[in-house]
Structure 1
Amino acid sequence: MDWFDVADEATPHLLRNDYAKCEEIVRKALFEEPPSPFDHVLKSEFTNDPRDVAIEINAFVERESKQFAVGAIYTETNGFDINPDRWYFDLFAYQTDGGIEDTDWISNWQSDLWPECTLTGMEDLQQIYASNELGSEAAYLFSLLVVIQFQKLIYSARTYMNIGDIPVYSTGHDYSFIARC
């Protein structure tokens, strides 16, 4: 099964923030692939404290709210598969929530730049990305698991956010596999 088929199968579960089911679908597809050094991601997760992530997002929203009424937040990882030296996420704010159906609005943020937030806990996997050629279907599927781990982190942080009902969207750079919490 290719990446797009797996992502399509997982998307309904992603829309319900059911990350365990998303992971299950990706892992099932990976069992059909030959063993890979990327198998390490099956046991990896980000170790950032969700409360610290929430503090960062709260501070970002507080600053941006002084400029405009924030209607949505978007966060994405950097291109981690081609930048294994440091994994991080960026934050973007919008005056209006464009919704999950058509996400073209995400490229037109209104916020100022915010310092990148380093992601921790997958440094061993970063080394695997640095030492291996990408391109296999398994590598793409493992990358999808990394994105799901990031989305789980943002979802876990949501509990600690003081931003009211402002939706928070999350994914990896250049991924259309977008979660909303």
Structure 2
Amino acid sequence: MNFTFAEKINPRLEVFDFEGALLIAQTELQTLPVSPFHAIIGRSLMHMTKHLANWIDDFYDGAKKRAAVCGLYFELNEFDINTDYWFIDGFAYDDCDTDPDDMDWLSDFMTDARTETGSVFYIEDYRALQSAFSEIDKKKLNGDWTKEMQDARDWCEQIIIIRFMELMRNVHLLAKKQYLSWSDIPIYFTEHEYDFIVKSE
């Protein structure tokens, strides 16, 4: 994770200004020599909103049978390392700490999406990018890796996170529009092992 790059866009993500965040990240990426990571430009995940809402609906229906759910947390797997599959995992909570500066309670979930639905939610639209991330070590070993490639990779990573968060916010808004049973429950989302977490309520 390039935290210098992240600091440029995270304030916009906190207020759901995904267009502003994308403008910064995509503009920076376009200043760099063309690479496989440029394939992320203009590639939204918003078309997956309804399908994702159905998956969350199934997850929530199972979770609420165990106890009253006070929060849902979703994370994108650590895609830059785990390049074979990119997916969203989900966790449900019956005891939520509302302190925004203390998110340790997220590790104490009541149940998860794999238990309730038998699956995570796979993202299959970025296969070319999965290949680009998987080939980094080989390029480094062959001496073909440059600072410009690293910057392109890092901005691509930021854009993928933006697109994921944009999708999560959009699915929550769809849930509210359709009066789904989990629409009034706060949802939290981020990438795995990333301490920057966005809340939608």
Common topology (TM > 0.5):
yes
Give the secondary structure class of the aligned counterpart of 2:111: coil
Given the superposition, is the C-alpha separation of residues 48 and 172 from structure 1 closer, same or farther in structure 2, using an over 3 Å criterion? Answer: farther
Match of 2:145 in 1: none
- Checking the alignment, whether the CA contact within 8 Å between 1:46 and 1:120 is kept in structure 2 is no
- Which among 167, 171, 174 is matched to residue 153 of structure 1? 167
- Per-residue deviation, 1:99: 4.9
Mapped partners of 2:71, 2:23: distance in 1: 29
- Which among 129, 132, 137 is matched to residue 136 of structure 2? 132
Mapped partners of 1:158, 1:65: distance in 2: 17
Larger Rg: 2
Q: Which amino acid aligns with 1:175?
A: Y
Which structure 1 segments of 5+ residues have no match? none
Tell me whether 29-38 or 74-83 shows the greater mean CA deviation.
29-38
Match of 1:167 in 2: 186
Mapped partners of 2:57, 2:63: distance in 1: 10
Asked if residue 141 in structure 1 is aligned to residue 143 in structure 2, the reply is no
- Per-residue deviation, 1:33: 4.6
- Checking the alignment, whether the CA contact within 8 Å between 1:72 and 1:166 is kept in structure 2 is yes
Superposed CA deviations along residues 93-116 of structure 1, whole A, max 9, x for unmatched, are 112154543322222212145221
Match of 2:105 in 1: 105
TM-score by length of 1: 0.86
- Per-residue deviation, 1:27: 2.6
What number of residue pairs does the alignment pair up? 180
Asked if residue 50 in structure 1 is aligned to residue 49 in structure 2, the reply is yes
- Per-residue deviation, 1:59: 1.5
Give the fraction of aligned pairs with identical amino acids, expressed as a percent.
28
- Per-residue deviation, 1:70: 0.9
Match of 1:25 in 2: 24
- Checking the alignment, whether the CA contact within 8 Å between 2:21 and 2:162 is kept in structure 1 is yes
Cα RMSD after superposing both structures? 2.3
Given the superposition, is the C-alpha separation of residues 97 and 165 from structure 1 closer, same or farther in structure 2, using an over 3 Å criterion? Answer: farther
| 4+ aligned runs moved over 6 Å, structure 1 | none
- Per-residue deviation, 1:8: 2.1
Q: Which amino acid aligns with 2:157?
A: S
Give the secondary structure class of the aligned counterpart of 1:49: helix
Mapped partners of 1:91, 1:171: distance in 2: 11
- Per-residue deviation, 1:48: 5.1
Match of 1:176 in 2: 195
Give the secondary structure class of the aligned counterpart of 1:169: strand
Q: Which amino acid aligns with 1:118?
A: Y
User: Is the helix fraction higher in 1 or 2?
Assistant: 2
- Per-residue deviation, 1:65: 1.0
TM-score by length of 2: 0.78
How do 1:27-106 and structure 2 match up within 5 A?
Answer: 27-31=26-30, 33-46=32-45, 49-95=48-94, 96-106=96-106
Mapped partners of 1:99, 1:142: distance in 2: 31
